[in-house]
C-alpha cells in the first residue's frame, strides 16, 4: 500500500468533510465525500483497495466525530463489499452501475451508521433518520457520484501509469 | 475494472477489527489512542479550517470591494454630517469603555452574571477559554462541534459551552490536548434541565435530529406563552443556573396528556457558530448531592436519558 499518497488524500477528504461539507444541509441531505471517494475508487480500481480505503477513511472520519469509533469504518467496508459483488455487473455503463451502487451502498451506509449508533446507546429516531436524512442524502450523493468519478478515474490512471497502488 | 476481492478474507477481517474498535471505544480503552491521533489531526484540522476561512474571506472581500466602491460616493456626501456625529460618538466611546471594564469585572464572578450580556467580548477570554469552532460532526446523525481549545487550556469533560449573549451552546463531551468536541443542545442525546423565565415552569430541553430543540415535561397546568425565555434551571447540578437556552416558539400538547411540550428557538444560531466560550470554573454537583427525591422534578425522573446526555 502506498500510504504516502493514500493517507494524505483520505485525511484531506476527511477534513473537507468535517470542516466544509458537514455544514451543508440541503433539505436534510448532506454530501458525503468520503463515501463517494471510497465507492468510486472501489469501482475504478479494485475492491481490495476500496476496502482498505474505506476502513482507513472511515476511521479518520470517526476520529473527527463525536460518535463511536469504527462506525463509519464499518459502514464503508460494507459499502465497498457490496460494490464488489457481481450482481451489478450487467448494468450498462460504469457510470450507470456506479449510480445503482451509490443508491444501494448509500442506503446500506446510513442503515449501518444508525444501527451502530443505536447499538452504542445513542438516541435514534428511525423514521425521521431514514426518511428525512438518509433518503435525501442518498439521492444527493447519487447526483454527485459522476462528479467524483471523473477525478478518481483520472487519479487511478495516473497512479497506474506510475506503478503505484493504494491498497 | 476489477471486481470481487482478491483477498476474500479482507472484508471479514476489517469488519472484525471495526467491531473490536467499537467495543474498545465503548469501554474507554481507546481514549489514549484517540488522543495520540488527536495530536496529529487536530493541528491539521485547525490549519485547514484557517485556510478555508481565509479563502472564504478573500472571496467575500472581493465581493465586498465592489459594493464598497459604489458606497464610497454616497458616503462621501455624508461625510460632513458624520463629522458632527463623530464628536458625539467619542462621548459614547468613553462610556462603552467604562461599561466594558464593568462587564469584565462581572464576568469573573458567578456565571449567572453573564445572563443579559449582549455580546461576549474577547476580554472574557481572559477569564475563560474562548474556542473557535473549527469543524462540525461529519456524522449526519450527531450534532457536535470541534473547538480549538482543549485540556491544555483547562477544558474538561462536562464544561458548559456558551455563545454570544451567554446563550447555551452545549457541553464539552470529549477533550483532546488542544481541541475539544462539544455536544450541541440540538443533539438528540442532549437534555438540559430548564425553566421558563415568566412562569418558572420547569422541564427538559431535548435535542431533535432535525436540529431543533423541544422543551418537554412541562406540567399540564402551567401557562406557557410564545416568546417566553427559556433558562437553565441548574437542577441536577451539571449546568449553571440562568444560562439563556432560547425562547418558546410554539406550544404543543393535548389536554389529556400529562405534560405539555414547547418548540424552543435556540438563543444562539448553532449552525453559524464561530466563537464560543467554555465555562471552566463551574463545578458540577456530585451525583449523591443532587436534588433529594422529595423535591423530585420532571428533570430528575422523566425518562431514562442515554449515556452521554447533557444532564445525567
Residues B16/B21/B27/B29 CA torsion (nearest 10 deg) = 130
Segment B165-200, tens digit of pLDDT: 678 899 999 888 888 889 999 998 899 999 988 888
CB B194 within 8 A of CB B205: yes
End-to-end CA distance of chain A: 5
Do A44 and B45 count as a contact with CB atoms less than 8 A apart? no
Do B138 and A63 count as a contact with CB atoms less than 8 A apart? no
* C-alpha to C-alpha distance for B91 and B88, rounded to whole angstroms: 5
Report residues of chain B scoring pLDDT below 50: 1-2, 102, 105-106, 109-124, 289-312
Q: For strands B160-162 and B168-175, give the pairing.
A: antiparallel
Tell me the shortest Cα–Cα distance from A70 to chain B, in angstroms. Answer: 5
Segment B148-162, tens digit of pLDDT: 888 888 888 888 888
Contacts A71 to B, Cβ<8 Å: 22, 139
- pLDDT top residue among A107 and B48: A107
Contacts A23 to B, Cβ<8 Å: 136, 271
Answer yes or no: pTM beyond 0.80: no
> Beta partners for B132?
B275
Distance of CA B2 to the CA centre of its chain: 47
Place of cell 460494507: A78
Distance of CA B291 to the CA centre of its chain: 25
* C-alpha to C-alpha distance for A28 and B208, rounded to whole angstroms: 13
Q: What percent of chain A has pLDDT over 70?
A: 91
> Beta partners for B224?
none
Integer-rounded Cα Rg, in Å, for chain B is 24
Amino acid at each position: 500500500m502506498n500510504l504516502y499518497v493514500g493517507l494524505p488524500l483520505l485525511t484531506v477528504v476527511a477534513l473537507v468533510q468535517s470542516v466544509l461539507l458537514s455544514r451543508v444541509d440541503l433539505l436534510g441531505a448532506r454530501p458525503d465525500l468520503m463515501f463517494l471517494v471510497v465507492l468510486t475508487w472501489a469501482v475504478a480500481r479494485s475492491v481490495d483497495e476500496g476496502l482498505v480505503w474505506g476502513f482507513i477513511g472511515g476511521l479518520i472520519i470517526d476520529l473527527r466525530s463525536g460518535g463511536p469509533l469504527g462506525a463509519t469504518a464499518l459502514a464503508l467496508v460494507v459499502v465497498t463489499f457490496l460494490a464488489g459483488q457481481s450482481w451489478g455487473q450487467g448494468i450498462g455503463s460504469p457510470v450507470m452501475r456506479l449510480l445503482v451502487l451509490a443508491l444501494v451502498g448509500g442506503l446500506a451506509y446510513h442503515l449501518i451508521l444508525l444501527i451502530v449508533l443505536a447499538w452504542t446507546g445513542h438516541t435514534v429516531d428511525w423514521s425521521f433518520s431514514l426518511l428525512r436524512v438518509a433518503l435525501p442524502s442518498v439521492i444527493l450523493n447519487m447526483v454527485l457520484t459522476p462528479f467524483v468519478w471523473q477525478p478518481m478515474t483520472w487519479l487511478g490512471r495516473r497512479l497506474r501509469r506510475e506503478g503505484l497502488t493504494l491498497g | 475494472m476489477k471486481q470481487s476481492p482478491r483477498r476474500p478474507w479482507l472484508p471479514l477481517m476489517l469488519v472484525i477489527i471495526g467491531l473490536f474498535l467499537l467495543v474498545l471505544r465503548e469501554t474507554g480503552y481507546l481514549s489514549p489512542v484517540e488522543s495520540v491521533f488527536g495530536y496529529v489531526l487536530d493541528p491539521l484540522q485547525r490549519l485547514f479550517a484557517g485556510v478555508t476561512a481565509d479563502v472564504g474571506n478573500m472571496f467575500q472581500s472581493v465581493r465586498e470591494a465592489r459594493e464598497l466602491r459604489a458606497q464610497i460616493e454616497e458616503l462621501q456626501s455624508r461625510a460632513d454630517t458624520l463629522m458632527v456625529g463623530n464628536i458625539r460618538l467619542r462621548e459614547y466611546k468613553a462610556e462603552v469603555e467604562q461599561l466594558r471594564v464593568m462587564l469584565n469585572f462581572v464576568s469573573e464572578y458567578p456565571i449567572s452574571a453573564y445572563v443579559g450580556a449582549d455580546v461576549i467580548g474577547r476580554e472574557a477570554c481572559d477569564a475563560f477559554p474562548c474556542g473557535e469552532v473549527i469543524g462540525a460532526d461529519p456524522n449526519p446523525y450527531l450534532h457536535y462541534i470541534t473547538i480549538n481549545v482543549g485540556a491544555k487550556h483547562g477544558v474538561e469533560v462536562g464544561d458548559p459551552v456558551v455563545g454570544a449573549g451567554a446563550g447555551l451552546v452545549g457541553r464539552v463531551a470529549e477533550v483532546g490536548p488542544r481541541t475539544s468536541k462539544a455536544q450541541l443542545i440540538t443533539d438528540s442525546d442532549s437534555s438540559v434541565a430548564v425553566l421558563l423565565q415568566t412562569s418558572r415552569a420547569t422541564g427538559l430541553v431535548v435535542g431533535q435530529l432535525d436540529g431543533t430543540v423541544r422543551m418537554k415535561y412541562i406540567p399540564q397546568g402551567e401557562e406557557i406563552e410564545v416568546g417566553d425565555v427559556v433558562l437553565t434551571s441548574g437542577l441536577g447540578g451539571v449546568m449553571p443556573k440562568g444560562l439563556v437556552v432560547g425562547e418558546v416558539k410554539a406550544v404543543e400538547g393535548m389536554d389529556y396528556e400529562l405534560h405539555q411540550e414547547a418548540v424552543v428557538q435556540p438563543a444562539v444560531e448553532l449552525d453559524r457558530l464561530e466563537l464560543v466560550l467554555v465555562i471552566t470554573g463551574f463545578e458540577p454537583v456530585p451525583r449523591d448531592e443532587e436534588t433529594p427525591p422529595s423535591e423530585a422534578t420532571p428533570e430528575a425522573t422523566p425518562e431514562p436519558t442515554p449515556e452521554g446526555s447533557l444532564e445525567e
